[in-house]
Structures are given as structure tokens and as C-alpha cells.
Amino acid sequence: MSLAGKVAIVTGSGRGLGLSYAQELARQGAAVVINDVDAEVAAEAVTSITAAGGKAVAVVAPVGSAETAKALVASAVENFGRLDILVTNAGVLRDKSILKMTDEDFDLVINVHLRGTFTCVREAYGYFKENNIAGRIITIGSPTGQRGNFGQTNYAAAKAGIVGMVRTWAMEMKRAGVTVNAVIPVAATAMTKTVPFFAKAIEADERGEAMPDFFRKELGFGTADDVAGLIAFLASDEAGNITGQAIGAGGDRLQLWSHPEAIASEFNDGGWDYATLLERFPFSGNLQSVGEKFPELPAELQPEPAAK
């Protein structure tokens, strides 16, 4: 198995995407530290791994603080003797349009996603460097962080910030041989269950059937297990030359996201005043779109009308 002898931490791994990541890492031979805020859910996740012959323990704590980050790394070392892999998956949602979003809504999402990623990565990297371990750090981004999404100011800021940190950390950690990447998953989760556009895909998955090709191929939308293979690959020795990347995974599709680059550059002697901007800069034709653009659903995949 490709990760035999390795030890991983997966935050937010009691259920959903995080649980699939942890289970796949365990299937590939890694011992796993499960993390969740619900003790019962965390215990069930541990059992799902140990019952299949894997090794797992749980740390029940919300991510965000330096204390939780230290407890996660300490648990890996105390229970399994080392740490090799960190997957920062934990997250919460508080979706509201900006005039309805409270300070508490904003701060909570930023604390769990952005600060939680920062504190856990800082603690894990400190351990890797101190012990001369060429570790693997895998953060979790989102299409919202790449493109924006209505009602998700806090989530977009956190996910875009995570990718920005990854690019910086890739430079800082290169000499230590540590890789750090962002995975952009597109999968059926508790959140997407509430989106009518994905209804037929979710219904098929819940019946134990394959999702229609339109979702898996056209949209790159699938199950949590469709993303887990990429997580395990990036955690392996074979991915030692991949760092600083944002990689999308969903359904049958894998994507490598570009880094932001300037698409139009002009120069004007003495700088740009109002009149020169109006006359010379080619805004028209170069303005970038916002949000994700989905193709129209085929008739047979349209959601059922709501009962009156």
C-alpha cells in the first residue's frame, strides 16, 4: 500500500468529504487521526476504519485555535509515533447576503476555515521541519474561492485565502521537502443536497446508483469518494514534485487551476488620469466573469416541481 507506515491528520473527518479522505488514507496504509466536534460522530468514524483493519484515533475539538492544532499533532505522535500527512478539511457555513451577514457569521467561518488551516499547517510544518520529515500538506479549497458565489462572502474569502496561503507556503517549505497543495472538490455533500440543480444526481447517489453522465462529466460533480483518490495521491511519495497547486476533483473530471495572471497590460507616459483611462485602457472585451456558469440541465434531469 502506498502510504504504509505513514500517519495522517484529517480535520473535520467525522462525516462527509473528510470521512472519505480519512478512510481512503487508511485503505492505503496510513494510520489516521480523526477530528470532529461531535464525540459520537468521531467515534463512529474511528470504528469505520478500525473495523476494516486500519488504525485510527479521534481528537474531539473545534479547529481554529493553536491549542487544537497542538493537540492534533500531539495525538498523532503519541498514538502512532510520528506525523507525515495533514489534510485541513474542517469547515462550517453561514451563508447570507452581505447586508444580512453578521460579524459573528463572518468571524466563525473565517476562524474555522482560514485560521484553522493556518494554525494546523503551522503546527504540522514545525513538526516536519524539526524532525526532517518531507511531509505532505493538503488543504481544501472550493469553487467559491476561485470564482465567487452569491451569499458566501465569508466562505469565498476563507477559501480564496487558503489558496493564497498555499502558494506562499510552497515557497517557504520547498527547502524542507514539504509539499502543500489545495484540492478543490465538487461533490455531493450536506450543502449540495439543498440545491435543486443537483437533485437528480443526489437522488441517484442515495439510491446507490451512478450519477447521470451530465453531472459526472459535464459538471465534474460526483461523490466524496471521487475526490478521495486525489487526496491519497497527493499524500504519497510519488507526488513529491507537486506543490503550490490548486487541483479540482469531481465526478469523472480532474482540473489543474491556473494562478491569476494579468490579461491586459498597457503603459502610458506619466501614468493614468481619468481622461486617459477612458480613452485608452481596453476594459471593454477584457472584463472577467464572476461566479460559476452551469450549462442548462437536460429536460430529463430537471428537478421535480415542488408539491403545492
- Note the residue count of the chain: 308
User: Quick check: 3 and 29 in contact, CB under 8 A?
Assistant: yes
- Pick the catalytic residue from 21, 125, 127, 155: 155
Amino acid letter at 72? L
- The answer to whether the beta carbons of residues 224 and 10 sit under 8 Å apart is no
Q: Is 125 a catalytic residue?
A: no
Report d(CA 253, CA 213) in Å as an integer. Answer: 11
Name residue 134's amino acid. A
Distance CA(56)–CA(80), nearest Å, equals 9
Phi, psi of 182 (to 5 degrees): -115, 130
User: CA–CA separation, 176 vs 134, rounded Å?
Assistant: 7
Rounded Cα distance between 140 and 18, Å, is 10
**Residue 222 near residue 250 (C-beta atoms within 8 A):** yes
Active site residues: 155
